[in-house]
Amino acid sequence: MTTISHTVPTPAPKPRGGISQSIGDSLVVAKRNLIRMTRIPEMVIFGLIQPIMFVVLFSYVFGGSMNIGGSTSPQVYREFLMAGIFAQTVTFATAGAGAGIADDMHKGLIDRFRSLPMARGAVLTGRTLADLVQTTLTLVVLAIVALLVGWRIHNGIPKALAAFALLLLLGYAFSWIGALIGLSVRTPEAATSGGLIWLFPVTFISNAFVDSSQMPSWLQPIAEWNPFSATVQACRELFGNPGVSPSDAWPMQYPVWASLIWSFLIIVVFRTLSVRKYRSATV
């Protein structure tokens, strides 16, 4: 007597949707980059030293010579300065994002990612999310140092947290610029140089360190419509710190809205360009 066995087919796993796969893959890549950062602690340490040096140098070297709202008090300038230092710190993370992506490209890691069934934009999104975590840590340490040198907030904790959220959003937006630079150069060294060279005019032709009304008349509109200036001014208002002289420029009248619009616009434009460059660079 012959026994006939029947094999019950195993149902195929349901494929994940495009958005859920992209989110999951991005978090996996972000975790990989965060683990890498913990194994190379000098990356975090050196990232903390530079902004701390800026705080100390600007506070004590230039603090008594800057005229803010008719006052040359070092304490007034320290409170005026800190929003600019915070913003400069989050945007300077752009160079690290670009160098990291360029390093992955140079070592062939991107080719290994391509062999996996993962969303194409996940590599870049994961990298920028990991950089956002590192930037958050840097901001926490920098805020503690700022409090030690005399910086204070005057509008309460909720508005201060909103200011830090705007800073992190600006840093995340600029990290996509760094991603595009990292994909466009051949070496990590070039990505580091390319990520910094354009940041100096962006941060210094702004209201970060001086009142823009004291600049030459032809330079004032550039500083006032600078996305960097909008976030700095918004943070000063939310922190309750001294701000720049009144201006008719729309970003200075409504800096919180201007900061949000600029940051989201930068994310949309440069994320689109970065993902497109990523696809063409790895074909």
Domain-embedded: residue 91: yes
Q: How far apart are CA 153 and CA 237, in angstroms?
A: 10
Residues with Cβ within 8 Å of residue 192, at least 6 apart in sequence: 95, 98, 99
> Does residue 204 belong to any structural domain of this protein?
yes
Q: Provide the domain limits for residue 110.
A: 23-281
pLDDT given at position 111: 64
Domain count, the chain: 1
Q: Does residue 240 form part of some domain?
A: yes
Please tell me the distance from the alpha carbon of residue 206 to that of residue 221, in angstroms, as a whole number: 10
Question: Which pLDDT tens digit goes with each residue over 149-188?
Answer: 888 899 999 999 999 999 999 999 999 998 888 888 878 7
pTM of the model: 0.85
Q: Are 191 and 225 in contact (CB under 8 A)?
A: no
Pair 281, 108: CB distance under 8 Å:
no
- Establish if 13 belongs to a structural domain: no
Residue ranges in the chain whose pLDDT is less than 70: 1-18, 63-65, 67, 69-72, 108-111, 113-117, 120, 281-283
Q: What is the pLDDT of residue 10?
A: 44
Classify residue 99: in a domain, yes or no: yes
pLDDT at 164: 95
Residue keyed to tokens 């950089």? 131
What is the rounded CA–CA span in Å between residue 178 and residue 199? 11
**Is position 10 within any domain?**
no
Tell me the one-letter amino acid at 176: W
In angstroms, rounded to a whole number, what is the distance separating the alpha carbons of residues 12 and 23? 22
Six token digits for residue 265: 């616009």
Is residue 63 included in any domain, yes or no? yes
Residue 219 forms part of a structural domain: yes
